[in-house]
A and B are shown apart, each in its own frame.
Chain A
Amino acid sequence: QSVVTQPPSLSEAPGQGVTISCSGSKSNIGNNAVTWYQHLPGRAPKVVIYYDDELPSGVSDRFSASKSGSTASLAISGLQSEDEADYYCASWDESLNVYVFGTGTKVTVL
């Protein structure tokens, strides 16, 4: 069981927005950079946010992220069918000395 928790699922209508929370602790989210991965079935995971809030080249600016204390958040605005995927936050845990993924959130576009 991961030490970083996310809501199992979120759903919203096309065009609307969702925010995924990622709750950890000082040893991971609180003190270290957070990455957000998008994982579509049958595809390799893809970085949509790195270094807490940085948007990689080529990723839609409908994705944004923030962090406060030991909780990180990923926001997706203007939902499109192509955004339907599993989303994982991840960070290094300096106490466990391991790279930890969050429990994952399945986003469904209604």
Chain B
Amino acid sequence: QVQLQESGPGLVTPSQTLSLTCTVSGVAITGGDSYWTWVRQPAGKGLEWIGRFYTRGGTTFNPSLKSRVTISVDTSKNQLSLKLNSVTAADTALYYCATSDSGWYMDVWGQGTTVTVSS
């Protein structure tokens, strides 16, 4: 059974870099043909797709965030990471990692981690 757990600092200073980790258990991240995705939800707003890592094809990012986002994989720790630089209050949100064998949906999700951008 695949399980995902997000972690990271709950508070980030404006203009700094937000760094989150998604620890994966139950499967090797690069062990098959799968998609590893980051999604966020600002308080009171809808879901926003940030980007994803595809084990057979690299990374794809939301164009609205592309210049600030890095998604990478640490196979030794079986972790997915998200880095978002130059953050502002608009990046305050609940951040989820998710995965699927299909590029059309995400069927396994972590519980999410809240990040607040504030000085």
Contact = CB atoms under 8 A, between A and B. Distances in A.
B24 to A, nearest CB: 14
The interface residues of chain B, by DSSP majority, are classed as loop
Given A50-B102, A104-B46, A56 B107 contact: yes
Interface in B25-58: 37, 39, 46-49, 52
Contacts of A92: 103-104
Give chain B's interface residue range (CB within 8 Å of chain A).
20 to 34
B106 interface: yes
Contacts of A96: 63
Identify the interface centre among B104, B106, B111: most chain A CB within 10 Å of its CB. Answer: B104
A32 B103 CA distance: 11
B79 interface: no
Contacts, number: 59
A42 B105 CA distance: 20
Contacts of A101: 46-49
A97 B47 contact: no
Contact of A88 (B47, B60, B107): B47
3 smallest CB-CB distances across A and B, nearest first, come from: A44-B109, A35-B105, A99-B49
Interface of A: 2, 32-33, 35, 37, 39, 43-47, 50-51, 56, 88, 90-92, 96-104
24 contacts: A32-B104, A33-B104, A33-B105, A37-B47, A43-B111, A44-B96, A44-B98, A44-B112, A45-B96, A45-B98, A45-B109, A47-B106, A50-B102, A91-B104, A96-B63, A97-B63, A98-B49, A99-B49, A99-B52, A100-B49, A101-B48, A102-B46, A104-B46, A104-B47
